[in-house]
Amino acid sequence: MTTGWLIVLFLHVLAMAFFVGGQIMLAAVVVPAVRSGRDPERMRAVARRFGVGSAIALLVLLATGAAMASEFGLWDSGTLHLKLGLVVAVIALTALHTRFPGSNVLNALVFLATIAIVWLGLDLTR
């Protein structure tokens, strides 16, 4: 792998770490701490900021993922097709989550689908 593609892969992994790590951090640390303070506006501010960061991370993931799929000839891969289907599902679930922000079911579905996407991404590297 050339240095250029290593940089693309690095950006992809970094964006994935922000997206997945942010979900874990919100669920395990931020939400319990902020909810205990009974300040709903603070929680909305945290969610908005994470939403902006997540949107940027998602754009980086889409751009770098498409570039790598083209460079490494992965567009015919069934694993990639499944991964892309889950990406579409995560985008749809995230849009629903903005409409119903208190839904623990939506939170769990987004997180589980995201973890599955990471697994499939690792499987593509074999």
pTM, two decimal places? 0.87
Residues 6+ away with beta carbon under 8 Å from 34? 42, 43, 46
- For 2-24, the pLDDT digits (tens) are 999 999 999 999 999 999 999 89
Place of tokens 């993922």: 65
- For 25-65, the pLDDT digits (tens) are 988 888 888 777 677 788 888 888 998 999 999 999 999 99
- For 61-114, the pLDDT digits (tens) are 999 999 999 999 999 999 999 999 999 999 999 899 888 887 889 989 999 999
Q: Where are the domains of the chain?
A: 3-124
